[in-house]
Amino acid sequence: MIHDYLSLSILLFCLGILGVISRRNVFTVFMSVELMLNAANLAFIALARLHENMDGHVLAMLVMAVAAAEAALALAVVILLHKHTGKVDTNVFSLLKG
């Protein structure tokens, strides 16, 4: 049973990774990051069940809080960038390079 949860978690995590490295839309990228964090959350909950303690729950809550904070910040940044360039394509934001 725990394996299924964990497998799902790993799958989600990998999807997240794939999303970050393959997608150019800033929103999708952030969603992928969220996916990774949620994969971790899933694992936390499942493992908390396995170990029968509350640490995992606490962690999951904290991760969610962090994810929310990051999302808020991310949205602000995306809006800011959109104001500057009118685009949400990460490839556009490569003025800093070399």
Partner 1 sequence: MNCDIVFLLPLFIVTIGAILLMLLSAFESIRLEVASALSVGIFALAFLVQLVPIGLTDVLPFVSIFNGMLAVSDFTRIASMIIIACGLFTAMSAISYFRQNNFGSLEFFSLMTFAVSGMLLLTMAQELITVFIALETVSLSIYVLVGYNRRNVLSSEAVLKYLILGAFAGGFFAMGIALVYGALGDTGFAAIAASVSRDGLLHNPALAGGLLFILFALFFKVTVFPFHSWVVDVYDGAPIPVTGFMATALKTAIIAVLANVLLLAGDIRESWLDMLFYLTVLTLFAGNLIAIGQNSLKRMLAASGIVHTGYLLIALIAVSGDQFSGSVILYYLAAYAASTLGIFASLSYLSGTDEKRKEFNDFSGLAKVRPYSAAAITIFLLSMAGIPPTAGFMGKLYIIVTAYQGGHVILAVLGIVSSILSMWYYLRLIIAMYFHEADDLFETSGSRSAPVCAFILAICVLALSLYPVAI
Partner 2 sequence: MAQNVSYLGMIPLLPLIGAAVVGILHLATCKKKRLPDQLYAVLACSTPILTFVLAVKVFFDLNGLPVDGRALTHEVFTWFEVGEMNISMGFLADPLSSLMLLFVTFTASLIHIYSIGYMAGDESFAKFFAYLNLFLGSMLILVLGNGPVVMFVGWEGVGLCSYLLISYYSEDRSNVLAGNKAFIVNRIGDFGFVLGMAFLFWAIGDSGFDYISLKTNAHMLAPATVTLVCLLLFVGATGKSAQIPLYVWLPDAMAGPTPVSALIHAATMVTAGVYMVARFSFLYVHVPTVGLIVAWTGILTALVSAIYGMFQNDIKKVLAYSTVSQLGYMFAGVGLAAYSAGIFHVFTHAFFKALLFLGAGSVIYALHHEQNIWKMGGLKTKLPLTYKTMLIGSLALAGCPPFSGFFSKDEILYSALASGHTGIWVVGVLVAGMTAYYTFRMIFVVFHGSPRDAHAYEHAHEPPAVMTVPLVILAIGALFAGFLNLPSLFGGSQQVTHWLAPSLAEHAHEASHSIEIIAIAASVAAFAIGIFIAYRKFGKGAEEPVYSGFSSFAYHTFRINELYDVLFVRPYKAIGSAIGNLIDAHVTDGPVQLIVWFYRQFGSTFKLLQVGYVRVYAIYMIIGLSVMSYLLTQSFK
Q: Give the Cβ contact number of residue 59 at 10 Å.
A: 17
CA dist., res. 25 & res. 38, Å (int): 20
Nearest distance from C-beta of residue 88 to partner 2, angstroms: 13
CA dist., res. 45 & res. 55, Å (int): 9
Q: Within 59-88, which residues bind partner 1 (CB under 8 A)?
A: 59, 62-63, 66, 69-70, 73-74, 77-78, 80-81, 84-85
Q: Give the Cβ contact number of residue 90 at 10 Å.
A: 15
Q: Could you say which of partner 2, partner 1, none residue 77 binds, taking C-beta under 5 to 8 angstroms by partner kind?
A: partner 1
Asked if 32 and 19 touch (Cβ cutoff 8 Å), the reply is: yes
Out of 15, 17, 45, 81, point to the residue binding partner 2 (CB under 8 A): 17
User: What number of chain residues touch partner 1 (CB under 8 A)?
Assistant: 46
Asked if 59 and 36 touch (Cβ cutoff 8 Å), the reply is: no
Q: Within 22-61, which residues bind partner 2 (CB under 8 A)?
A: 22-24, 29
Residues of the shown chain interacting with partner 2 in the complex, contacts defined by CB under 8 A: 17, 20-24, 29, 90-91, 93-98
